[in-house]
Amino acid sequence: MSGIIGKKIGMTSIFDEQGKNVPCTIINAGPCVVTQIRTTEKDGYDAIQLGFDTKKEKSTNKSETGHFKKAGSPVLKKVFEFQGFEDDFKLGDKVTVDHFIEGEFVDITSRSKGKGFQGVVKRHGFAGVGQSTHGQHNRLRAPGSIGAASYPARVFKGMRMAGRMGNQNVQVQNLRVLKVVSDQNLIIVKGCVPGHKDSYLKIEK
């Protein structure tokens, strides 16, 4: 689907037409530069690659620098591909927040916050096993049994256990666009989106 690249600024709340206090996220979206155009004849599918947020050229390798020079744009930090644009774009064209209108719904994809190594209570919502009496003192947040003994004599794949939590690609669907501020390149969407402040977001119609 068509869309734009943005950066999460933070959360706040606004009042809607009925006077209700609505939690929302403010996103700095675009302007994005068209850095590559995929075609069915050459690539097997139709898509447009957008770039967002400039970075220092000295920290970029030559192949990336040449890629952006073809589009006549400065070196950009983040690139994503989008499909389904109705308008015809050329290399170097810009996509702005005016691509969206208030009231429509978008899907937002980003990298969730990393929580590090966590136990089963925090990671999977386990209640914890055992009692605080009967002589045991350190098993309150333990996972309990993870499988049978002599048969099948192994632990099944997918067993919910302790491990690294977060830092994964997460998509939140059907977030309503509450407001579009064109002169400041801002989109305000209802609810929360994954990722920390200043994390990059892929916003799709």
Q: Could you read off the pLDDT of 179-205 as tens digits, one per residue?
A: 999 899 999 999 999 999 999 999 998
If one counts every other C-beta atom within 10 angstroms of the C-beta of residue 7, the result is 20
Mean pLDDT of 135-159: 86
Three-state DSSP at 74 gives coil
C-alpha torsion 133→138→142→144, nearest 10: -50
Residue 30 DSSP label: -
At 114, the pLDDT band (50, 70, 90 cuts) reads very high
As given in the structure block, the two tokens for residue 15 are 């009042």
Looking at residue 140, its pLDDT comes to 83
Looking at residue 135, its pLDDT comes to 76
pLDDT digits 0-9 by tens, 63-110: 888 888 888 888 888 999 988 887 788 888 888 898 889 999 999 999
CA-based R_g, the chain, Å: 23
At 130, the pLDDT band (50, 70, 90 cuts) reads low
Looking at residue 200, its pLDDT comes to 94
| Residue 23 · residue 193 · CB < 8 Å | no
**Listing from the earlier edge strand, what are the strands of the sheet with 47-54?**
76-82, 47-54, 32-38, 94-95
| Residue 160 · residue 124 · CB < 8 Å | yes
Three-state DSSP at 43 gives helix
Output the CA–CA distances (angstroms, integers) from residue 144 to 119, 121, 162, in the order listed: 12, 11, 12
Residue reference for tokens 């447009």: 48
Lowest-confidence pick of 124-133, 166-175, 182-191: 124-133
Domains of the chain: 3-116+168-204 (2.40.30.10), 117-166 (no CATH)
Distance CA 100, CA 205 (A): 8
Which residues, in sequence order, are bridge partners of residue 5?
A: 202
| Residue 125 · residue 165 · CB < 8 Å | no
- 123 phi/psi in degrees, rounded to 5: -75, -40
Looking at residue 110, its pLDDT comes to 94
pTM, rounded to two decimals: 0.83
How high is the mean pLDDT of the chain?
Answer: 89
Three-state DSSP at 183 gives helix
